[in-house]
Amino acid sequence: MSNGAGEIGYADAMAELGDILAELERDDLDVDVLAERVRRAGELITLCRARIARAQADVEGIVTNLDSFAAVGEGEDSSES
């Protein structure tokens, strides 16, 4: 796992967020570490949201292309009759 939020995958980011959450729930978390862990969690959340948005846009684009392809195919079928 890398230090930069932009260099890790979604699954790794979610796993790291889980680790950070576990740290934050402990009573013995050093106050000096708290701000750094919260900052890192913010970076990871931003990364995950961006990945989800990109995946959603990709899926919507694929569905639109499939719908366009199907419409063209249906138009060809009706002209052959």
pLDDT in tens, 1-24: 444 544 799 999 999 999 999 999
Of 78 and 23, the one with more pLDDT? 23
Q: What is the per-residue pLDDT for 3? A: 46
Secondary structure class of 19 (helix, strand, coil): helix
Which residues are CB-neighbours of 5 under 8 A, at least 6 positions away? Answer: 13, 40, 43, 44, 46, 47
